[in-house]
Chain A
Amino acid sequence: MGETILELKNISKSFDGKKILDDLCLNIEKNEFVTLLGPSGCGKSTLLRIIGGFVKPDHGQVFFEGSDITSMPPEKRQVHTVFQKYSLFPHMNVADNVAFGLKLKKKSKEYINEKVRYAMRLVNMEGYEERMTTSLSGGQQQRIAIARAIVNEPKMLLLDEPLGALDLKLRHEMQRELMRIKHEVGITFVYVTHDQEEALTMSDRIVVMNQGIIQQMGTSKSIYDEPQNAFVADFIGDSNIVNGIMIKDRLVLIHGVEVECVDEGFDSNEPVDVVIRPEDLVIVGKDSGFTNGIVTNLIYKGAYYDISVAAGDYEWSVQSNVPAAVDNEVGLFIDPENIQIMKKPRSSDEEVIDKLG
């Protein structure tokens, strides 16, 4: 892709002795839509605040268009933030909120009016200029917050869980709006969320974070299809994650059964994590799959059935278009292509595994 606009070099940050970010490096390219994705407490918001200038890293540097901005205060940076709680100025009307940054820059009245009109049109809020912000709904307030940031023509927009406070339907609508706005203004978006679906929908690139380190980076498709470790597999979408032993290339032992797969390059008899997406498991007749199990639960989810199949002491999660009768013994089939084998995390990351239970 294009040139680098922001470079984070070896960023570390601790709060009260607890390490939030650990020697993190990340490059963000011009006009990219990058999403920092991870569970709460993974350090994604802290990283965004470091980019915005509200938090100073303990170690490491932040480069913006090649120059070191690590100690530059937020008011001097060419990045603007859209906050989760909208953070509009309650004592000003909508137009004054949007014009705030431009008035500080002492632009002419005509220029400001023109820009405000453009920004209001961009976020579909024309006609609300004179309203007080407190009289607007959450979705409308967030649109104004976006307009207020974009009107200043920042080179980069930081969005800190901006849709977190909205209901599901509105969130979907705003996701499309954000992608349209991003397309229209053509600037870099750095988006923070814990919602994997939101990340998969909007991003050019997803950065999955946990415990202050980057777990995996890549496009939505590569993150979903080829998670690099059990954490990513579990966090993005639903997954069956089981212990396995790699017998040799292309052959893995799962729950005492040898199953064909397509992975190579592991030591023989190396313990591994085996990840199988629920939608990749197929329910077949007894003894026709790699394992047999009893259907214990069937939930209709609209587009598919969520089926639980107990085999030994593990319960497989299966998504299927056809229902299966509860208490029936069935077989489970998996295409070797759809099995992902992952190295066990090193012991230093034991906690990650513990959390997965």
Chain B
Amino acid sequence: MGKVLGKRSALAGPYVIWAVGFTVIPLVVIIRYAVFDRSGAFTLSNILAIFAPVHLKALIFSLEIALGCTLICILLAYPLVLAISRLKFARSGMMLVILILPMWMNFILKLLAWQMILSSNGVLNLIIRSLGFAEFDISNTPLSIMIGVIYEYFPYMVLPIYDAVTAIAEDVIEAARDLGAKKKTVFWKVVFPLSLPGLMSGITMVFVPSMTSFVTADILGGGKLQLVGNIIEQEFIHSMNWNLGAGLSVALMIFVLISMTFTINKDEREEEEAW
């Protein structure tokens, strides 16, 4: 038994090396940078710098973008999942491939395409003008950042929810209908609660990346709108202040961890109070 176990855990070797080399060590390095100032003295000011007005503003803006994007992804994902999960197997597979297809294309390329579409002389405005409506310039606005973020991360919301919904046994849904539940009630009392684990994975995979997706903000926000990721990037690349950059990263990490535990606890409580 012990021998088998020993052999099995050896299979995790490559992952352990990966995790140590690319997660644990960089994390230690970042935390080390974060808690010292440039002269090498211990300080918490790099981390607390998140509360400086300009940083706080970026954090709140990131939070708004991330919350908005996550919410819109959820609202778009459920109807899509319900529609796809009803299709016959071959067709639903096709739909999923169409959904995943953009993920195989280069991220920057897609953002540049969106920039062209959304710019004042872009495709979107061309269509709007040709329909006789007033020009509608959303380039370099929070809205255009959100469109980019949603486009990028939507599949990460759909796939885990799709998995959770298709795992619900058909006869459980039939049982609910049999007991008098209309389609809407079946969704809220059975499908939605049973899809929560998928929804939680979806939120985790969309919320955090949307907060820090500085390249999207750069390209679609015209460099004027700053997410907390942009500030961190600037500290590292332009100001060369690695200590402050690392400090803000650590602060962000703490913030994300706190908000994630909050969501997960809340989810458990809601499950208990399903009625």
Contacts and interface: CB of A to CB of B under 8 A. Distances in A.
B169 interface: yes
A75 B189 CA distance: 14
Contacts of A83: 171, 174-175
A90 B178 contact: no
A89 B190 contact: yes
Interface in B172-219: 172, 174-182, 185, 189-190, 193-194
Contacts of A54: 174, 177-178
A257 B174 CA distance: 57
B172 A73 contact: no
A152 B180 CA distance: 10
Given A104-B180, A152-B179, A89 B172 contact: yes
A85 B178 contact: no
Interface in B134-190: 169, 171-172, 174-182, 185, 189-190
Query: Do most interface residues of chain B lie in helix, strand or loop, or is the interface mixed?
Result: helix
A87 B179 contact: no
Nearest to A54: B174
Nearest to A104: B180
Interface stretch (A28-36, A95-103, A243-251): A95-103
A80 interface: yes
A149 interface: yes
B182 A75 contact: yes
Contacts, number: 66
Given A90-B194, A152-B180, A85 B171 contact: yes
Contact of B178 (A80, A91, A92, A103): A80
B274 interface: yes
Nearest to A76: B180
A87 B177 CA distance: 12
A52 interface: yes
Interface in A197-233: none
B262 interface: no
Contact of A105 (B169, B180, B190): B180
B275 interface: yes
A81 B169 CA distance: 16
B174 A101 contact: no
A345 interface: no
B180 A101 contact: yes
B274 A96 contact: yes
B174 A80 contact: no
B17 to A, nearest CB: 38
A148 interface: yes
Contact of B172 (A87, A103, A152): A87
A74 interface: yes
B169 A100 contact: no
Contacts of A85: 169, 171
A91 B193 contact: yes
Contacts of B189: 89, 100
B200 to A, nearest CB: 14
B180 A90 contact: no
Contact of A104 (B172, B174, B181): B181
B185 to A, nearest CB: 6
A149 B179 contact: yes
B271 A91 contact: yes
B60 to A, nearest CB: 35
Interface string A134-150: 00000000000100110
Given A89-B176, A152-B180, 11 more contacts: A52-B178, A54-B174, A75-B179, A75-B181, A81-B175, A83-B171, A85-B171, A87-B171, A101-B179, A101-B180, A104-B179
10 contacts: A54-B177, A75-B178, A81-B178, A87-B172, A88-B175, A89-B175, A100-B181, A145-B175, A149-B178, A149-B179
